[in-house]
Every structure is written in C-alpha cells, then in structure tokens.
Amino acid sequence: MWCGLRSLGLVVAAAVVAACGGGRATGSFDGNVYRNGPIAFQLPDPPAGWKRIDVDDASLAFRDDEHGASVLLNARCLSADDRTPLVALTNHLLIGATEREYLSQDAVPFDGREALHTKLKAKWDGVPMLIDVYVLSKDGCIYDFIYLGAPSGYEGGAPAFDSFVRGFRTLRGSGVAG
C-alpha cells in the first residue's frame, strides 16, 4: 500500500519488474474480494487473459499481455490526502509523464459517489502510452484504477478494463468511520 501519494511512474516501474518476476503483495485477495486493514472491496472476475502480478506499490496489479498493458489498483485510507480534489490526485499520479495529451476528463458516477475519469496519451521515459485513470474518494479512502499500455493494443483492452472497474464495490465497514 502507498504510504503517501506516489507517481504512476514509480508504480509502472514496479509493474515492469513484477511482470518479469519479483514483488510482494500486501492484503488478501481471493479473486473477487480484497481486504487490507480498513480497506475492503469487491471486484468482478478479472477478464480472461489478465494474470495477477505482485507489485510493491499497488494493492492489486494485473498484466494484460494480449494488449500489452498493465492494470494497477491502489487503495489507501486514513490519509491526509482524503480531502484533496480528485483532479489534484490524478495529476499527482501522472508525475513523470511527458508530452501529455488529455483525451477526456470527466466526473462520473462510481460506487455511489463521483470519480474522476481521465484518458490521455503520454510518454514514460520516451515511450508512448495510452493511460486510462479513475480516481475515487469514498469514506476516508482513495482508490486509483489505472490501465496503461502501448497505443497499438489500448483500444482492444480498454473496454475490459472499464467493465472490470465499473464492477468495483466497497464492502460494508470499509473506510474510515466518520
């Protein structure tokens, strides 16, 4: 779990290392339910072809080899950034990205709240990527959902990511009591 905000660049680097072997998971995940301290959420079954990878700086991570993409989900609670605007949280995830070209950025209904959904083209270390990000703040917790990959495979994999993320639900008791 992130101790504070980290840029997506650090997580991307960790995902690449984990895809090649290594990394360690925190929390528990049974294929649909993730739990770690005050964090408890449910996801639908991952799409066929996604394989789970362990990444130090993400709650859950998957590799979509068919589309040359990585999927990163992170949740953190009891954080000083739980009142930070969603656009600021999103921008912090993108530190390290160059040549950003925003394709869309919209507030969308998400698990009974409003999330910021951002799609953009950018470069990481000079490599072109397409990035799809959802950021949700709910009950004192921040949830980041990220799909990133090569432009050539993005269109084929993005719909499965969107469907997977839209199946996210926090579980009763998750978050910070307020």
For 75, the enclosing helix (H) or strand (E) is strand 69-77
Q: What is the side-by-side order of every strand in the sheet holding 127-138? A: 50-53, 60-64, 69-77, 141-149, 127-138, 113-124, 98-110
130 contacts: CB under 8 Å, gap ≥ 6: 119, 120, 121, 148, 149, 150, 151, 154, 158
Distance (Å) of CA 155 to CA 109, 125, 129: 23, 22, 12
pLDDT digits (tens, 9 = 90+) for 73-118: 999 986 565 678 999 999 999 999 999 999 999 999 999 999 999 9
Q: pTM of the entire structure?
A: 0.83
Which CATH superfamily hosts domain 8-149?
Answer: Mog1/PsbP, alpha/beta/alpha sandwich (3.40.1000.10)
pLDDT classification of 139: cutoffs 50, 70, 90: confident
